[in-house]
Amino acid sequence: MVKVEINGQVIEAHEGDMLIDVADGAQIPIPRFCYHKKLSIAANCRMCLVDVEGAWKPLPACATPVTDGMVVRTNSPKAIASQKSVMEFLLINHPLDCPICDQGGECELQDVAMDYGEDVSRYTEAKRVVGDKNAGPLISTDMTRCIHCTRCVRFGQEVAGMMELGATGRSEWMEIGTYVEKSIDSEMSGNMIDLCPVGALTSKPFRYTTRTWELKAHQGIAAHDSIGSHIQVHSKNDKVMRVVPHENEDINEVWLSDRDRFSYESINAEDRLTKPMIKVNGEWKATDWETALQVAIEGLQKAVGNDIGVMASANSTTEELHLLQKIARGIGSENIDFRTRQVDFSADAKGFHTPGLATAIADVEKQDAVVMVGSYLRKELPILNLRLRKATLKGAKVIAVNPQAFKFNYDLEQIADDNGMVANLAGLAKAAADAKGDNDALLANVTATDTDKVNAEALINAKNSIVMLGQIAQSHADYALLTKLAASLAKNTDSELSILPIQANEVGANLVNFLPANGKNAAQMAQGMDAFLLMGLEAADFTDATQAGQAFKNAGFVVNLTAFDSEEARQYSDVMLPIALFAETAGTFVNINGNKQSFKMSVKPQGDAKAAWKVLRVMGNMFNLAGFDYTHTNEVLREVLDNRSTTLALAHLDAEMVSANNDSKVVMVAPYQMDAMVRRAPSLQKTPDANVATMVGGQD
């Protein structure tokens, strides 16, 4: 440790720490534009110049390491004169767009100019003009405002792993832009909006909708994948206007995926269901809640004793899923499931394996070796993929066993050939078993290649390693076998085994036992039931959407708790009950590490929509079921936590199954088709990632 004096305050710091970080830790303000704690040091804006005793000129605080006995002044006449000069220089070409700029009110340039800018500019020359770039449906550009801080460039290169923006030209002719007018297609592109210190890059969906000082900020949890990213929901007049990240170093750091950032558009979708609807003689009629619930209860009561299928989206809150399964079991149905994209349920006979990440999210970047099985992690869980990218930059070896090669944003070994995922994973598992002297009967007829042996050795020698099964593996026709092979590989390489939950609350669904312990699974229910009770689901959420839609239409009675009034839902539903979306309700999501993260309502539900947990509470009372006297989500959560969840052993499977190659039946879901909300976000639907066909191919 060294001692540094800043503005008369003595501070202890680690030798080599940058001066700006030490000052930030002591809450001593230093202006900056190009510096960002998550990006490399560029030192190109010079706004952070400070007066260091013994130096003949002011030094940039972001690029000056501290030494023992260093004396620094950030507010001396010398430092302030330098900072004012830099501010004047930056404003030479910056346009006076503040009255019409979306960044107004949260613009770093505007804030710093208030403290370090002059009232009148000495420059009378004409300002330069830079043409705007069409960067795609998510980011709006006004490049005349750009001050060349290069934060966006460094983010793409260092964090997102896709250098989509770069600088061309020099001096006054330098411009930031895309390569040959290419759009910005990264699944993390929205973070460039947050990083931009001026109004050069702004949110295209949010543009010109309101002023930032008119917004109310609400803490929330992202509702589209199992990471559980912390977010801020910004609203005006009880309408969600935008979503931005909230810093949490253990989970999402300061980043947010585009899916979680822009899906809020669907809250205000044209087909939002805002009133309860019932079907009378084949015609839909809007009605009041009392009537709609009475029709729903009577219809389900007539079906009691027959096959009633109860299914829900895994993006539902823990409280909602708990109450729904409680109703289902209360009326005698064990046909309960959320795994609508799973095909192989053969392992269910041995119990249910709760998905999850076997290490902390932040510790993924500390891994030495990782095997991904059936996973396009970059699109499935973008935040987790950033952590894995960090690991590769530190030298970690990543092996991907996939049905085909995908465009990852880091170097890895992709095993994707005609043999199929099962055979390829079996070869790797066999090599590990041979190295450990394990005569696993499952691998008796498998031969390991030289490449398998090299990869297995790398896993065995790694201090920290993980074997992860992703969305593609979980929708594979041989999912149970892939899981067994992955477990064998993990055991013989001393690796952690992780079955990655994809949707926001799959872990919570397992926690509340939203599973068919003695009933039909989702695939069986999709073949046909006498009646259905659905929550937050559409036919498009199933592996075979056509089959599921037909099963709903053929059912005698369907109660649909949904936020959207689609034409398809009208065809198969008998009652549609409008429910709130993630920003309109309170509840809890259990993330990939099992962290229970509760959130409050940010805005009121639209129209007559109600929080689903409140609807289910009333339905439980109308069924005369005991234990539905809740007044708050905390009471429901407390009941959940009083129950115990069990993770059972993986199923045993026969060795001869290893030779199967069912990769032709693999289902990969585009990230912006994952649920009803993202399918209704117009901006996301205009991106390449809305179409699975545009996501495949070799590495960038």
Q: Read off the CATH number of the domain in which 14 is found.
A: 3.10.20.740
652 pLDDT more than 50: no
Residues 6+ apart with CB under 8 A from 329: 336
Phi-psi region of 225 (alpha: psi -120 to 50; beta: other; left: phi over 0): beta
Residue 241 in domain: no
491: exposed, middle or buried (C-beta count within 10 Å: 0-12, 13-18, 19+)?
middle
pLDDT for residue 656: 47
Q: Which residue has the higher pLDDT, 353 or 700?
A: 353
Q: How does pLDDT run across 198-239, given as a tens digit for each residue? A: 999 999 999 999 999 999 999 999 999 999 999 999 999 999
19 pLDDT more than 90: yes
Q: Which residue has the tokens 């992709």?
A: 414
Q: Is the pTM of the predicted complex or chain greater than 0.85?
A: yes
Which pair of structure tokens corresponds to residue 623?
Answer: 């069924």
Q: How does pLDDT run across 378-433, given as a tens digit for each residue? A: 999 999 999 999 999 999 999 999 999 999 999 999 999 989 999 999 999 999 99
Q: Which residue has the tokens 């805005």?
A: 603
258 pLDDT more than 90: yes
Distance CA 396, CA 422 (A): 24
Backbone phi and psi for residue 337, each to the nearest 5 degrees, phi listed first: -165, 155
51 strand-pairing partners: 73
Segment holding 481, helix H or strand E: helix 479-492
Distance CA 331, CA 329 (A): 5
CA torsion through residues 502, 506, 507, 510, sign? negative
pLDDT for residue 197: 96
The distance from CA 57 to its chain's CA centroid, rounded to whole angstroms, is 46
Residue (of 591, 143, 523) closest to 360 by Cα position: 591
pLDDT for residue 700: 46
Q: How many residues does the chain have?
A: 700
Distance CA 304, CA 317 (A): 26
pLDDT for residue 694: 75
The conformation of residue 649, written as its DSSP 8-state character, comes to P
pLDDT for residue 440: 87
Q: Which of 43, 73, 90 is the last residue of a domain?
A: 90
Contact 485, 374 (CB under 8 A): no
Q: How does pLDDT run across 422-458, given as a tens digit for each residue? A: 999 999 999 999 999 999 889 999 999 999 999 999 9
Residue 541 in domain: no
Contact 30, 74 (CB under 8 A): yes
Q: Is 193 helix (H, G, I), strand (E, B) or coil?
A: helix
pLDDT for residue 651: 45
Residue 659 in domain: yes
pLDDT for residue 659: 59
633 pLDDT more than 90: yes
Residue (of 691, 695, 700) closest to 377 by Cα position: 695
Which pair of structure tokens corresponds to residue 271?
Answer: 């087909």
Distance CA 399, CA 283 (A): 55
Q: What are the Cα distances from residue 531, in Å, to 287, 296, 339?
A: 22, 11, 18
Residue (of 274, 277, 498, 239) closest to 374 by Cα position: 498
Mean pLDDT of 160-188: 86
Strand order in the sheet with 277-280: 283-286, 277-280, 575-578, 557-562, 531-535, 308-312, 336-337
Contact 32, 109 (CB under 8 A): no
Residue 660 in domain: yes
Neighbouring C-beta atoms of residue 686, cutoff 10 Å: 14
Provide the angle, in degrees to the nearest 10, between the axes of the packed helices 318-330 and 633-642.
70
660 pLDDT more than 80: no
pLDDT for residue 665: 66
pLDDT for residue 345: 95
Q: Which of 56, 90, 124 is the last residue of a domain?
A: 90
DSSP strand pairing (49-52 vs 71-73): antiparallel
pLDDT for residue 266: 96
Q: What are the Cα distances from residue 521, in Å, to 251, 363, 470, 557, 649?
A: 32, 34, 20, 19, 19
Residue 63 in domain: yes
Phi-psi region of 297 (alpha: psi -120 to 50; beta: other; left: phi over 0): alpha
Contact 541, 352 (CB under 8 A): no
Segment holding 616, helix H or strand E: helix 612-622
Q: For the chain, state the CA radius of gyration.
A: 28
Distance CA 188, CA 155 (A): 10
Domain hosting residue 36, numbered range: 2-90
Residue 563 in domain: no
pLDDT for residue 693: 77
Residue (of 189, 240, 249) closest to 215 by Cα position: 240
24 pLDDT more than 50: yes
**Structural domain count, the chain:** 2
Q: Which of 69, 90, 111 is the last residue of a domain?
A: 90
SS3 content of the chain, % helix, strand, coil (to 5): 35, 20, 45
Residue 116 in domain: no
Distance CA 164, CA 687 (A): 15
Distance CA 145, CA 212 (A): 19
Amino acid at 187: E
Distance CA 222, CA 207 (A): 22
DSSP line for 523-580 = HHHTT--SEEEEES--GGGSSSHHHHHHHHHHSSEEEEEESB--HHHHHH-SEEEEB-
CA torsion through residues 340, 346, 348, 354, sign? negative
Q: How does pLDDT run across 567-599, given as a tens digit for each residue? A: 999 999 999 999 999 999 999 999 999 999 999
Q: What is the CATH number of the domain that holds 385?
A: 3.40.228.10
pLDDT for residue 178: 83
Pinpoint the alpha helices (H) of 120-276.
Answer: 151-154, 191-195, 258-262
Residue 401 in domain: yes
Q: How does pLDDT run across 481-538, given as a tens digit for each residue? A: 999 999 999 999 999 999 999 999 999 999 999 999 899 999 999 999 999 999 999 9
